[in-house]
Amino acid sequence: ADENLTQLSNRLISNTYEPSEILRFYIPKHSGLHRPITFLHLDDLIVYQAIANIIADKFWEKRSEVQGITTYSNIFNDEGKNSIFIFKKWQYGYRGFINKIKNLYKKDNNWVASFDLAAYYDTIDLKLLAEKISSKAYKDFTGFLIKCISAWTTHRTKKLHHGIPQGPISSSLIGEIYLLSLDQKLKSRGIKYVRYVDDIKIFGKTKEEVQQGIILLEHECKERGLIPQAKKYEIVNTKNVEEAIGKFPSLQSDEKRVIIKNEKEACHLFTNAFVPSDPAAFDVSKVRYILKTSPKNEGILKIVLENIEKHPELTDEFCKFLSNYRDSEDIATKIYNATIKKRIVYSYAEGKYWQLLAEFKIENTTTKKRYLRDAIRKLINNRDSFSLKLGLYKFIGLNDNHLILKFLPYETSCLIQMMVFPYVPVVSYGSEEFKILLGKLFSRSNYDAPLTAIKEILFSDKGYLLEDPNLISKDETGVIANTLGHSYNFDAIDVILNKTYTVKFKKWKIFLNRNYNQANSLIQYARAAFHIEINAWINYTDAFLDIVIREFILLLKDNGFSRLPNTTDSHGLVDLGVLLHDKNLRTFFPGMIDGFQKLHKRRRTTPTSHAFDKKTFAKTKSLTREEQKNYVSTFNNSLNQLLAEADKYLK
């Protein structure tokens, strides 16, 4: 990583750095229009953040005059340069924004006007932005900034001289600096003004006081090339503080608690929101929150399937809720019929539903082949929609072991290749088609896809593929040498357990020996299932522990623990449950074995293991998220104890 940063620094110093082509996703809005989201390459993100850091340092004192007083979005971190985070958590500023409104209302400022800015990021004038920053920085710096932003603008045409990329966190800072003089002007004129990003409210004790503030605000906005949303504001004599706050895209804690505690009420709220005769009941914040947090619910499911086409702006939330039904092929068919078969208008939405379908296990061979044919046809014909491409690639990669390699090497976008590479089936690694893909990736001038490829290959314990002289000769950026260095001693199990859990151990290859690859595959499957299918997660985790515990027993027996049980007998492998019940093993390591036994026992009572409990004949139950959280803790504690003991006997 240090070598890659050094290379980037040298490119900047030598003036050979050029901002790369961007990737844009167009997300549907409630209005029927799109919100462009920009993805930058890794080196561009680093450069953009470095630019933002310099600007933050230059404007730190000036911004402190208004932040937390009139302005509450993107609050600078108090630690300043000593923090790796440039901003405090958004909740901090949002709470301050709400509290400021409450305080103003308590002081009899009942008259309120809400003001919005149209396409805020897209309308920022780059020339004016350069003038604002040049007063605090040197000329070459502002020229370089505008050069980069012009290349990353959210507009398709690079001839336009306004707009900053929407998506990167650095743009949040640039946007705040652009509005800083506006904040200062209204504060100096005594306007009772509060702002959160581009949502603005003006308060007053009389209607006339608010009108004066609006006139000044509108004038100052137009002076900066910003477009005031006249239809989005009105002066209201509010009757209570809730009305003064209005609707914002975040729920208060008490509202969340009501929804979480009462599933019936959540379903009722959701159902009422979609009543055509009462559009005022449609509270998008509550709708989004219910969709994100609700488990399976037939009432909500029915409404979602009926409204998929009508509400493309809720695509992400619909997908989150529908993911509860990944075990239902019937629901997969309904999703397909409601979106892809109907030729949904928004390509972003279609791409998301293809991604969702990729997570369903489709057993019917005829159905799977039909879906694959559709996906391949669309991938061949689609050139412009990156979000649709991503969905199609994911579906193809997770439903066929080789088809994806016919297309991915020739994908024009390096960023799409980066996003898609994790869906390339591991069983295809090492094939001729896979080698062609690697050759194409490492011939690119950007790091993104090669770095992702290196990570996935190492996690699969196939690092030897990166030592191919033909591949190294194609390494355009030197990313292989820079990332791996000359000494290659990567342990995929250690990396996964360290990142996903709190387990650190550097001797997995020595410890597991011949069973390392099998254990590595199992823990990777567990990692992949961690957030998607928790029943599968506990199954893979238990299977991984099966290998670990057997090797642990063999290691101890080789070092004098003769009374421990044999892992095999005349019938073959001794069942893990039998090993965990061994009296001597439990005597030596009581707490550790209890933890493993609890996890093993719960695994046996999940639907992915058995339909019924063998002893009680009761139907088995799916693991819950709360249970998973507890079993992760159990896994960490017991495995760390085992590894500490094993380490005593490993050279």
Q: Enumerate the β-bridge partners of residue 35.
A: 27
In a domain, 586, yes or no: yes
In a domain, 73, yes or no: yes
Mean pLDDT confidence for 610-625: 88
- Chosen domain end from 245, 270, 299: 245
Mean pLDDT confidence for 631-644: 96
Confidence class for position 247, pLDDT limits 50, 70, 90 = low
Determine what percent of the chain is predicted with pLDDT higher than 70. 91
Provide the pLDDT for residue 313: 92
Q: How far apart are CA 585 and CA 599, in angstroms?
A: 17
Instruction: Determine the structural domain holding residue 530 and report its residue range.
Output: 492-648
Confidence class for position 111, pLDDT limits 50, 70, 90 = very high
Provide the pLDDT for residue 399: 94
Contact in structure between 116 and 200 (CB atoms under 8 Å): yes
In a domain, 608, yes or no: yes
- Chosen domain end from 193, 217, 245: 245
Lowest model confidence (mean pLDDT) among 255-259, 264-268, 394-398, 419-423 = 255-259
Confidence class for position 613, pLDDT limits 50, 70, 90 = confident
Provide the pLDDT for residue 367: 95
What mean pLDDT, rounded, does the chain reach?
87
Mean pLDDT confidence for 218-222: 89
Confidence class for position 568, pLDDT limits 50, 70, 90 = very high
Provide the pLDDT for residue 90: 75
Residue-wise pLDDT tens digits, 171-209: 999 999 999 999 999 999 999 999 998 888 999 999 999
In a domain, 589, yes or no: yes
Mean pLDDT confidence for 81-100: 78
Confidence class for position 259, pLDDT limits 50, 70, 90 = low
Confidence class for position 524, pLDDT limits 50, 70, 90 = confident
SS (H, E, C) 204-264: ECCHHHHHHHHHHHHHHHHHCCCEECHHHCCEEECCCHHHHHCCCCCCCHHHHHHHHHCHH
- Neighbour tally for 112: CB within 10 Å: 24
Provide the pLDDT for residue 487: 45
In a domain, 154, yes or no: yes
Lowest model confidence (mean pLDDT) among 77-81, 136-140, 253-257, 474-478 = 253-257
Q: How far apart are CA 576 and CA 567, in angstroms?
A: 9
Mean pLDDT confidence for 40-60: 90
In a domain, 263, yes or no: no
Between strands 192-196 and 199-204, the pairing is antiparallel
In a domain, 120, yes or no: yes
Confidence class for position 81, pLDDT limits 50, 70, 90 = low
Provide the pLDDT for residue 552: 97
Name the more confident of 203 and 153: 203
Task: Check pLDDT > 80 for residue 449.
Answer: yes
Q: How far apart are CA 538 and CA 228, in angstroms?
A: 53
Q: How far apart are CA 578 and CA 593, in angstroms?
A: 12
Residue-wise pLDDT tens digits, 273-296: 887 666 655 677 888 888 988 889
Q: Give the Cα-Cα-Cα angle 513, 519, 524 (nearest 5 degrees).
A: 140
Name the more confident of 173 and 478: 173
Region class of 350: left (phi > 0), else alpha (psi between -120 and 50), else beta: alpha
Provide the pLDDT for residue 252: 54
Provide the pLDDT for residue 477: 67
Provide the pLDDT for residue 342: 82
Residue-wise pLDDT tens digits, 485-501: 644 455 778 878 887 88
Lowest model confidence (mean pLDDT) among 11-20, 199-208, 627-636 = 11-20
Burial of 41 (0-12, 13-18, 19+ CB in 10 A): buried
Confidence class for position 320, pLDDT limits 50, 70, 90 = very high
Q: Give the Cα-Cα-Cα angle 136, 181, 230 (nearest 5 degrees).
A: 145
Task: Check pLDDT > 70 for residue 508.
Answer: yes
Residue-wise pLDDT tens digits, 387-435: 999 999 999 999 998 999 999 999 999 999 999 999 999 999 999 999 9
Provide the pLDDT for residue 471: 79
Name the more confident of 349 and 470: 349
- Chosen domain end from 245, 280, 295: 245
Provide the pLDDT for residue 323: 95
Name the more confident of 247 and 429: 429
Q: Enumerate the β-bridge partners of residue 112.
A: 203, 236
Total domains, the chain: 2
Provide the pLDDT for residue 443: 86
In a domain, 418, yes or no: no
